Amino acid sequence: METTTAIPTTPPVETSERLAYSLEEAAQMLGVHYFSIYRLIQRGKLKPCRALRGKFLIPRTELLKLLKSE
Amino acid sequence: MIKRNGQPGRHSVPNYSGRLTDDENEAYQTAVASVQPQLADLGTIGQALRGIESPSTGMGERPADPTEITVGSSDRWQVRRCLVQLNQSEVFLCQKGTEFAVVERFSENSRYAAVNGPAEIMRTGNNERQVLQDYVENERQTLQLLATDLTARVRETLAAQHPEQNCKRVVEAITRRCDCEINPNQSQAETIAPALQQTHGIRV
């Protein structure tokens, strides 16, 4: 059975009001594998923004939408 | 031997037809190290998808741990087999009567699962083969998203660690490597074509 590892270098997520998070931080906040974040983007459930060189960032507001009933 | 900036191109790297100079090779190794886990996952998921497409290899036939998955509050599906397993999510082929579904199940401790349910349907249909094919195509598009993001991270790393260097060929080499992991057949043809063009250019 195929098994992949989570990215080990994920820094602890700060609870301060940041505007956007890296993909790994977003995955950690949601408690899912980071590839699931790409799946959510692909399915249109999560709208990312792009950093200067094109790297995906996840806006805080988008994360809150997914966790809205909490 | 062709030289760039006074250095011969003598380093070959996976899936890239060109040869890198010493400086380019150093930058390439730095870049690969910075995205190694993602590259490994790209390969693992790509391989799993190829296994699903070629069931004769047996790679797509993985036993599933749960026998039943509940989607939403009461939508129960029988698990046929596990398609891809990551450490906080698994993707299963499920069946309910004559209907098939590809379902992603999340970790029990996941905040996302607590709000949105422990499992989500990714694809449904009455034709098992079509459902799997649609899933594979969609998952390849998702892998392409990962590859695009990974290339952007590589650019960021190279800009920070090799600011004086033109790393265009390094980025090209990594992009090619990603493409080959996602779709090896298509990418092999693309790798060969530029190599042939280059040979013609030298002869003329």
Judged by CB atoms closer than 8 Å, whether chains meet at A53 and B85 is answered as: no
Judged by CB atoms closer than 8 Å, whether chains meet at B115 and A66 is answered as: yes
- Contacting B residues, span 45-74, partner chain A, CB-CB under 8 Å: 45, 47-48, 62-63
B191 close to A (CB below 8 A): no
What integer pLDDT is reported at residue B185 of this predicted model?
72
What integer pLDDT is reported at residue A57 of this predicted model?
95
Contacts of residue B41 in chain A, CB cutoff 8 Å? 4-5, 35
The mean-pLDDT minimum among A4-8, B64-68, B141-145, B178-182 falls in A4-8
Q: Per-residue pLDDT averaged across B75-85, rounded?
A: 93
Q: Is the pLDDT of residue B190 over 60?
A: no
Which residue carries 């930058």 as its tokens? Answer: B27
Report how far Cα A39 is from the mean position of its chain's Cα atoms.
11
Pairing of strands B89-96, B75-86: antiparallel
Instruction: Locate A43 and state its tokens.
Output: 């399915």
Percent of chain A with pLDDT over 90: 61
**Contact (CB, 8 A) for B167 and B24:** yes
The mean-pLDDT minimum among A50-64, B151-165, B173-187 falls in B173-187
Q: Is the pLDDT of residue B198 over 80?
A: no
What integer pLDDT is reported at residue A69 of this predicted model?
57
Cα B157 to Cα B31: distance, rounded to the nearest angstrom:
6
Nearest chain B Cα distance for residue A14, angstroms: 16
**Contact (CB, 8 A) for B48 and A2:** yes
Confidence grade of residue B61 (pLDDT, cut at 50, 70, 90): low
Cα A31 to Cα B106: distance, rounded to the nearest angstrom:
8
Cα B23 to Cα B95: distance, rounded to the nearest angstrom:
54
- pTM value is 0.81
Confidence grade of residue B86 (pLDDT, cut at 50, 70, 90): confident
Mean pLDDT of chain B: 84
Report phi then psi at B194, rounded to 5. -60, -35
In Å, what is the CA distance from B16 to each residue of A34, B12, B115, B174? 27, 7, 44, 8
Q: Is the pLDDT of residue B204 over 50?
A: no
Q: Is the pLDDT of residue B174 over 70?
A: yes
- How many C-beta neighbours within 10 Å does residue B197 have? 10
Confidence grade of residue A8 (pLDDT, cut at 50, 70, 90): very low
Cα B160 to Cα B162: distance, rounded to the nearest angstrom:
6
B74 compared with B121, residue with greater pLDDT: B121
Instruction: Locate B98 and state its tokens.
Output: 């004559």
Q: Is the pLDDT of residue A27 over 60?
A: yes
